[in-house]
Chains A and B, each alone.
Chain A
Amino acid sequence: MASTAAVPFWRAAGMTYITYSNICASLVRGCLKEPYKSDAASREKVHFAVSKWANGKPEKPTIRTDSPDQ
Chain B
Amino acid sequence: MAMAALRREGRRFVVSLASSAPITARSSISSEEPCLFGVRSISTQIVRNRMKSVKNIQKITKAMKMVAASKLRGVQTKTEKSRGLWQPFVALLGDNLNVDVKKNVVITVTSDKGLCGGINSTSVKVSKALTKIYSGPEKETKYVILGEKGKAQLVRDSKNSIELTVTEWQKNPLNYTQVAVLADDILKNVEFDALRIVFNKFHSVVSFPPTVSTILSPEVVEKESEAGGRLGDLDLYEIEGGETKSEVLQNLAEFQFSCVLFNAVLENGCSELGARMSAMDSSSKNAGEMLDRLTLTYNRTRQASITTELIEIISGASALEG
- Chain B residue nearest to A51 in the complex (CB): B165
Given contacts A50-B164, A51-B165, A55-B160, contact A45 B254 (CB under 8 A): no
Q: Are B172 and A45 in contact (CB under 8 A)?
A: yes
Q: Are A45 and B188 in contact (CB under 8 A)?
A: no
Q: Does B159 contact A (CB under 8 A)?
A: yes
Q: Are A47 and B171 in contact (CB under 8 A)?
A: yes
Q: Does A43 contact B (CB under 8 A)?
A: yes
The majority secondary structure among interface residues of chain A is: mixed
Task: Mark out the residues of chain A between 1 and 24 whose CB falls within 8 Å of any chain B CB in the assembled complex.
Answer: 1, 3, 6-8, 11, 16-19, 21-22
Q: Are A45 and B255 in contact (CB under 8 A)?
A: no
Q: Does A31 contact B (CB under 8 A)?
A: no
Q: From B165, B169, B183, give the contact of A58 (CB < 8 A).
A: B165
Docked pose: A11 CA to B183 CA in angstroms: 16
Q: From A49, A63, A70, give the contact of B184 (CB < 8 A).
A: A70
Q: Are B166 and A48 in contact (CB under 8 A)?
A: yes
Q: Are B165 and A47 in contact (CB under 8 A)?
A: no
25 contacts between A and B (CB under 8 A): A3-B247, A6-B243, A11-B247, A17-B255, A18-B180, A18-B254, A18-B258, A19-B180, A43-B175, A43-B176, A43-B177, A44-B177, A46-B181, A48-B171, A50-B166, A51-B164, A51-B166, A51-B167, A52-B189, A53-B159, A53-B163, A53-B164, A56-B162, A64-B185, A70-B181
Docked pose: A45 CA to B65 CA in angstroms: 27
Q: Does B244 contact A (CB under 8 A)?
A: yes
What chain A residues lie within 8 Å of B189 (beta carbons)? Answer: 52
Taking each of A21, A22, A48, A57, which has the highest tally of chain B beta carbons within 10 Å of its own beta carbon? Answer: A48
What chain A residues lie within 8 Å of B258 (beta carbons)? Answer: 18
| A binding-site residues for B, Cβ under 8 Å | 1, 3, 6-8, 11, 16-19, 21-22, 25-26, 43-53, 55-58, 61, 63-64, 67-68, 70
Given contacts A6-B243, A53-B162, contact A48 B178 (CB under 8 A): yes
Q: Does B286 contact A (CB under 8 A)?
A: no
Q: Are A16 and B254 in contact (CB under 8 A)?
A: yes
Q: From B166, B244, B255, give the contact of A49 (CB < 8 A).
A: B166
Task: Mark out the residues of chain B between 240 and 264 whose CB falls within 8 Å of any chain A CB in the assembled complex.
Answer: 242-244, 246-247, 250-251, 254-255, 257-258
What chain B residues lie within 8 Å of A16 (beta carbons)? Answer: 184, 187-188, 254
What chain A residues lie within 8 Å of B257 (beta carbons)? Answer: 18
Given contacts A18-B255, A49-B167, contact A68 B242 (CB under 8 A): no
Q: Are B167 and A45 in contact (CB under 8 A)?
A: no
Taking each of B251, B255, B257, which has the highest tally of chain A beta carbons within 10 Å of its own beta carbon? Answer: B251
What chain A residues lie within 8 Å of B247 (beta carbons)? Answer: 3, 7-8, 11
Docked pose: A8 CA to B212 CA in angstroms: 33
A50 to chain B, nearest CB (A): 5
Docked pose: A47 CA to B187 CA in angstroms: 18
Q: Are B164 and A17 in contact (CB under 8 A)?
A: no
Listed from nearest, the 6 A-B pairs whose CB atoms lie closest are A56-B159, A48-B169, A17-B251, A17-B254, A45-B172, A56-B160
Q: Are A3 and B244 in contact (CB under 8 A)?
A: yes
- Chain A residue nearest to B252 in the complex (CB): A17
Docked pose: A35 CA to B23 CA in angstroms: 68
Given contacts A21-B180, A50-B185, contact A44 B166 (CB under 8 A): no
